[in-house]
């Protein structure tokens, strides 16, 4: 079978790596891919959200499955378009992807279906938003409703900070049209978990709960990034909590979609905050998380090609995905300066042996004249599997500490997985 994977980050390398293990997959193409995916198949220099170019490539290449990694092609309706041409496309429709695209839509969905989330109010004009914020005396979160590349959320310690955020979004229009509507939310305290399911609109397959590390600095400090590391399973989710997540969040969300007449097929990522006051939904993503996918693929012990095709064709049964017993952890190695400005073009040294328990997934990399170079903010996702989370952490960090994996300006957090390890050690 021939598979096209749309996207070029660590998530797509991880999905491609897992797909390549399927005995059914013999040809892999990445649009546009990166230097890591080029070792698994062929990269095509096509931007995944450019519908015309993607449709042309599919017409020519006739893939048996198209896997959409990032959100931009979903928002651009690439899934609908390819499905209309008869392709087997993994990735929800444009309508279904509204859950991720518009935060106001997601919050109203949660309210309509009585699913627990942070208290909120939505605003179309700055004056009304300011008046509301001025009447508060606690921490607040200001969110641009539209797509803002993960940057449109500002967590504020007090109303004064929130007023600045409202002005940035609604007056200075820092996020353009994405800030035409804003959500003002109560600020929650707690630990976050990422819940991934595959659904075909009727049934769902659950992946183990995972944890991302969004801020750039150790101890979760500093600016938010795309994600600096992840691990799974997340020990904070014990069997009792897993049951609650299933019954109070996942099932009501899927029922709500059905009730609203949305045929959701694909990966659904539910970001949760575990608070003293119970579970609260933070956000939805209509795709796999990056970097959560990297550890999830090392844990998964079944054929990803079958899982994805069954999702598209409506052949899933509700169950947990088969996993290897153990833990997986990914440390993101980034270019110094990220998420602000950073340099590209540094030579990458990669002196490691890969196997089923250790993979260095590429994100912002490219090959030029036989040399491996940095080409983005998040460069590599050093990912390892082991019997315990502590061992997985040690294995992922060892080649970074030994500079077997290295480039000028390399930056990585040293505390990926520590929250989970601490919990396990009581």
Q: 153 or 184: whose CB is closer to ligand GLY?
A: 153
Interface ranges with ligand AMP (CB under 6 A): 118, 141, 143, 153, 155, 185, 187-188, 192, 214, 271, 282-283
Would you state the structure tokens that stand for residue 338, as one six-digit string? 């990220």
Min CB(62)–ligand GLY separation in Å: 30
Q: 20 or 105: whose CB is closer to ligand AMP?
A: 105
Q: 117 or 311: whose CB is closer to ligand AMP?
A: 117
Q: Choose the contact partner of 187 out of ligand GLY, ligand AMP, none; CB within 5 to 8 A by kind.
A: ligand AMP
Q: What angle do CA 360, 47, 337 make, to 5 degrees?
A: 50
Among 39, 44, 35, smallest CA distance to 5 is for 44
Determine which helix (DSSP H) or strand (DSSP E) holds 328, and give its type and residue range. strand 327-335
Interface ranges with ligand GLY (CB under 6 A): 212, 227, 285, 289-290, 292
Q: Is 271 left (phi over 0), alpha (psi -120 to 50) or beta?
A: beta
Burial 22-31 (b: 16+ CB within 10 A, else e): beebeebbbb
Contact 91, 78 (CB under 8 A): yes
Contact 270, 249 (CB under 8 A): yes
Strand 2-7 to 65-68 pairing: parallel
Min CB(262)–ligand AMP separation in Å: 20
Q: 180 or 352: whose CB is closer to ligand AMP?
A: 180
Q: Choose the contact partner of 390 out of ligand AMP, ligand GLY, none; CB within 5 to 8 A by kind.
A: none
Q: 12 or 212: whose CB is closer to ligand GLY?
A: 212
Neighbours of 228 (CB within 10 A): 30
Contact 267, 197 (CB under 8 A): yes
CA–CA gap between residue 105 and residue 94 (Å, rounded): 13
Min CB(176)–ligand GLY separation in Å: 20
Min CB(291)–ligand AMP separation in Å: 13
Which neighbouring-strand residues pair with 197?
206, 268
Q: Which residues contact 185 (CB under 8 A, 6 or more apart)?
A: 118, 119, 120, 140, 141, 142, 143
Q: Choose the contact partner of 98 out of ligand AMP, ligand GLY, none; CB within 5 to 8 A by kind.
A: none
Q: 41 or 146: whose CB is closer to ligand AMP?
A: 146
Min CB(67)–ligand AMP separation in Å: 23
Min CB(185)–ligand AMP separation in Å: 4
Q: Choose the contact partner of 80 out of ligand AMP, ligand GLY, none; CB within 5 to 8 A by kind.
A: none
Q: Choose the contact partner of 290 out of ligand GLY, ligand AMP, none; CB within 5 to 8 A by kind.
A: ligand GLY
Q: 79 or 293: whose CB is closer to ligand GLY?
A: 293
């Amino acid at each position: 079978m021939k598979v096209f994977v749309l996207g070029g980050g660590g998530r797509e390398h991880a999905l491609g790596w897992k797909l390549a293990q399927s005995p059914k997959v013999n040809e892999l193409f990445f649009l546009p891919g990166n230097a890591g995916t080029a070792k698994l198949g062929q990269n095509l220099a096509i931007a995944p959200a450019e519908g015309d170019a993607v449709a042309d490539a599919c017409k020519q290449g006739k893939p048996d499955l198209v896997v959409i990694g990032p959100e931009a092609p979903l928002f651009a309706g690439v899934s609908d378009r390819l499905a209309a041409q008869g392709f087997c496309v993994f990735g929800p429709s444009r309508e279904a992807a509204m859950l991720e695209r518009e935060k106001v839509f997601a919050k109203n969905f949660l309210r309509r279906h009585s699913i627990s989330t942070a208290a909120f109010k939505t605003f179309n004009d700055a004056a009304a938003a300011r008046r509301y914020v001025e009447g508060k005396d606690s921490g607040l979160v200001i969110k641009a409703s539209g797509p803002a590349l993960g940057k449109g959320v500002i967590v504020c310690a007090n109303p004064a900070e929130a007023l600045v955020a409202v002005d940035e979004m609604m007056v200075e229009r820092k996020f353009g049209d994405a800030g035409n509507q804003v959500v003002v939310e109560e600020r929650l305290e707690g630990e976050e978990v990422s819940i991934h399911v595959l659904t075909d609109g009727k049934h769902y397959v659950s992946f183990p709960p995972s944890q991302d590390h969004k801020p750039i600095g150790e101890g979760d400090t500093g600016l938010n990034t795309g994600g600096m590391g992840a691990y799974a399973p997340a020990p904070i989710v014990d069997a009792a909590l897993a049951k609650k997540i299933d019954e109070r969040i996942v099932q009501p969300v899927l029922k709500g979609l059905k009730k609203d007449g949305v045929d959701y097929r694909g990966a659904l990522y539910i970001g949760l905050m575990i608070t003293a006051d119970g579970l609260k939904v933070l956000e939805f993503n209509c795709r796999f998380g990056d970097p959560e996918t990297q550890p999830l693929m090392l844990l998964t012990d079944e054929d990803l090609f079958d899982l994805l095709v069954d999702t598209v064709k409506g052949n899933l049964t509700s169950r947990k995905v088969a996993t290897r017993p153990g833990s997986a952890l990914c440390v993101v190695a980034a270019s110094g300066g990220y998420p602000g400005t950073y340099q590209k073009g540094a030579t990458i040294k990669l002196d490691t042996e890969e196997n089923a328990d250790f993979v260095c997934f590429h994100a912002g990399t490219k090959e030029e004249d036989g040399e491996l170079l940095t080409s983005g903010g998040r460069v590599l996702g050093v990912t390892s599997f082991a019997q315990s989370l502590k061992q997985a952490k040690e294995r992922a960090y060892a080649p970074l500490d030994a500079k077997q994996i290295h480039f000028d300006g390399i930056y990585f957090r040293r505390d990926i997985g520590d929250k989970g390890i601490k919990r396990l050690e009581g």
